[in-house]
Structure formats: C-alpha cells, structure tokens
Amino acid sequence: MSSDSTALQSSVVINEAVQSLRDGGLVAFPTETVYGLGADAKNPEAIKKIFSTKGRPSNHPLIVHLAAPDRFDQAQVDWVPVLAPWVRDLSEDALKLINAFWPGPLTLVFKKDKSVLNELTGGQDTVAIRAPAHPIAQELLRKFKGGVVAPSANRFGKVSPTSAADVRNEFEGVLDLMVLDGGDCEVGIESTIIDLSTGDRAILLRPGVITPSEILAKTGIQIYHPGEVIEETDLLPKVSGSLKAHYAPTTPLRLYASGRVLDALSEFPDTKSRVAVAVWDSESSLSHDGHPSVHFEEVVIPSDSASFASRLYRSLRDLDQQDWDLILFPEPPAGEEWDGVRDRLQRACFGSGPSSSSHVSN
Ligand code: TXA
Ligand code: MG
C-alpha cells in the first residue's frame, strides 16, 4: 500500500470519527501522552456518556482538547481566537506558555467562559485546556472544528492506555468503541497540568514530562508547587490524579530502594512465589540477591527518565497480564525529571492489588 493510500484511508476513518463526535458518540484517539476517550465538549449527553463509560465521578473535570491554529510551525501564531470561546481572560504568562509548549503535553487551567458546560468542569468555574501534538489528534480536532473533551481512555483508577489495543482491551465487552490507531504514545504519561486560574501564581497540579525548570528556562515563568501556595487538601476534588490511588494494576505493585529487593519483599506480608522485579538497564543483574522461597524474574527498564515514562504504562499493563503474585519497581531517583513517573508509580502502588476497588480508588 502506498503512503498516499494509507493517508487517504486514515483520512476516511478520521472523517467517520468526526461524524461520530457530531452525532454525540465517543471516539478514542491517540495523543502524544496517552490515548483519550473523546466527546463533543458542547454536548452534555455525550459528556455524560464519558463519565458513565469510565465509571468516573461526575465532579472530576475533563480537559478540553483544541486544534492548533493553521500553520502552527510558524514562530508566532495567534492562539487568542482559538481560546476566546473557552476562557475568560488570557494573561501574558498564559500566552507565553502556549507559544512555548503548544501543541504538546501541557494542560493549562483557566477561569472559564460562561458558555463552557458545567458538565465538563465538574461544576467548577475553571476549565482545563490543551492542544495535543499527535498528528491524528490534530487532524481530528481540525476537522471537527470544535473542542473535544478527552480523559485518558481507561476505566477509572486503572492504568492509562498507550496503544489502540490497550483501549480495546479496556472496554472490551462493555462498549463498541471507535478507536483511531496512532501507534504507541511517545510521551507515555499524562500531560503536565498548570493552574493559571488564581491570577497571580502558576501552580503545578500534575507533574509530567514538561517540568517547572524547563518552563522557567523557556518562558521565565516560575511554577509553584501546591504545598507552597495552598493547603494540599484543597486540591483533592480538582485533580483526580491527585487522589492517592490511581493508574493501578490488579497485581500488587511495590517500590524497592536501590539494592533492597529483599527488604521490599519482607514488608509485603503475603510474599508469594512469583515476583517480577524491574531493574534499571544501567545496573547489573539481581541474580545474586536471591530468596529461597521466591521465584524472581527480571524485567529490564530504561534508566533514562523520558524512555522510562514512555514505557511505564506499557510495562505495568504487560506485567499485569502475566500472572505474577507481586511486581517490584525500583524507586525512581531524585530529580525533577523523575517527578512525573514517581507520582504515577506511587499512586499505582497505592491502588494496586485485587481489592483495589474497595479502597479510595478513583
Ligand atoms: O495527557 C493528558 O492530559 C490526557 C490526554 C488524553 O490528553 N488526558 C488526561 O485526562 O489525562 P484525565 O481526565 O485522565 O485527567 C485530567 C486531569 C484530572 O486529574 C482532572 O481532575 C484535571 O485534569 N482537571 C481537569 N479540569 C480541571 C480543572 N478545571 N481544574 C483542575 N484540574 C482539572
Ligand atoms: Mg486519567
């Protein structure tokens, strides 16, 4: 098949997806971070379908995804008309962040325009927006000519999908869902979320691959951590990823400190016999670190933070399918570039295990 006919075919499929969104349907699509479960941001019934399909509480707000303006490869493009229907006011800082990072894995929270549906903001007076970089997401959004709300395309509290097959597995037997296939997601963890709605300081709500230092270096804007400006508990209803349990596999998952696999096992009361141990590709094998009653198997993981992020959910999903009794991951090293994956791993540990539905899973 020539590349032309491939392009033509995907374009036909994308047109179908656009029609499905216009008809109030759900469409799963690839972004550079994870796959999203999309619906028309102006259709309250379609938005309700997202919440019921995911099993997500209706007060957890969604991100609106927008197309980048035409010719977004130019140095300065005009994002103001793109955002005007959604946000009440657009500060200088907001425009700096947008020009530096959109389209890309950065979500910004603004005071919302009054026309933005309460169904999507969970009743809050703010709205989260991002322009994803994946070409299929961009084509879908450009052709749709409107905002698309899209949470990660997984059931609530579970591991986010990074391939079309993951999305299909997630909703198999539950929903006949149209899934646009854009291959494996490059970034692998969800977008960084920055709250600009308080008007004075920009606050990090969810760490991702775009870090506060990178933002400072590219825009001169200082990003504050929630604890520096507000009581952490005030954020809980806002960001579902800020609840303790999230992104969780069904197999129990624990972290181990460098070289302390056995300690991690002894802290786990029901040590069983089959344990998958993730080890950094930069480190020597654990085989000398044996345990008489345990069968270890090593899984090599990248020691570079970007590659680790891009493979994290893939590894968790694959290991979860393999019938292990316990999965051990090394604690990520200190350093801001690891904050995104550390955050996801800690919440995944907390929510993991067969009884995860009985704790504060979200
Ligand atoms: O990378 C991503 O952001 C992916 C892809 C699909 O774009 N989407 C994603 O959506 O991660 P979701 O729904 O799984 O996570 C969105 C997060 C939630 O934690 C939500 O609470 C937060 O964004 N959020 C949405 N609107 C907000 C608002 N107005 N204020 C604060 N947080 C908000
Ligand atoms: Mg999610």
Neighbours of ion ligand 2 (CB under 5 A): 152
Q: Quick one: pLDDT at residue 105?
A: 98
- Residue 243 CA: which ligand is closest? 1
What's the 216 CA to ligand 1 centre distance in angstroms?
22
Q: Ligand 1 site: residues with CB under 6 angstroms? A: 31, 33-34, 36, 60-63, 105, 107, 109, 121, 124, 126-128, 132, 150-152, 190-191, 193, 205, 238-241
Structure confidence by residue, pLDDT tens digits, 68-88: 987 655 556 789 999 999 999
DSSP structural state of residue 164:
H
Q: Quick one: pLDDT at residue 362?
A: 33
CB-based burial label for 274 (10 Å; 0-12, 13-18, 19+)? middle
Pairing mode, if any, of strands 202-206 and 192-195?
A: antiparallel
Does 283 or 244 have the greater pLDDT score? 283
What's the 6 CA to ligand 2 centre distance in angstroms?
31
Cβ neighbors of 28 (< 8 A, separation 6 or more) are 35, 36, 37, 38, 153, 161, 164, 167, 177, 178, 179, 180
What's the 158 CA to ligand 1 centre distance in angstroms?
15
Q: Quick one: pLDDT at residue 339?
A: 97
Give me the DSSP letters along 241-258: GGSSB-SB-SS-EEEE-T
Question: Can you tell me whether residue 261 is helix, strand or coil?
Answer: helix
Q: Quick one: pLDDT at residue 237?
A: 47
Average pLDDT score over the chain: 88
Q: How confident is the model at residue 236 (pLDDT cuts 50, 70, 90)?
A: very low
- The ligand 1 atom at the shortest distance from the C-alpha of residue 193 is 23
Structure confidence by residue, pLDDT tens digits, 194-209: 999 998 899 999 999 9
Q: Quick one: pLDDT at residue 221?
A: 98
Q: How confident is the model at residue 287 (pLDDT cuts 50, 70, 90)?
A: low
- The ligand 1 atom at the shortest distance from the C-alpha of residue 132 is 7
Q: What is the mean pLDDT of residues 230-250?
A: 61
Question: Can you tell me whether residue 87 is helix, strand or coil?
Answer: strand
Residue pair 328/256 in contact by the 8 Å Cβ criterion: yes
Question: Can you tell me whether residue 238 is helix, strand or coil?
Answer: coil
Tallying the residues shown for the chain, one arrives at 362
Residue pair 178/59 in contact by the 8 Å Cβ criterion: no
How far apart, in whole angstroms, are the C-alpha atoms of residue 77 and residue 151?
27
What's the 8 CA to ligand 1 centre distance in angstroms?
32
- Residue 208 CA: which ligand is closest? 1
- Residue 348 CA: which ligand is closest? 2
E strand segments, 43-134: 63-65, 106-111, 126-130
pLDDT of residue 344 exceeding 90 = yes
What's the 254 CA to ligand 1 centre distance in angstroms?
25
CA atoms within 13 A on the CB side of 277: 26
Structure confidence by residue, pLDDT tens digits, 166-195: 999 999 887 879 999 999 999 999 999 999
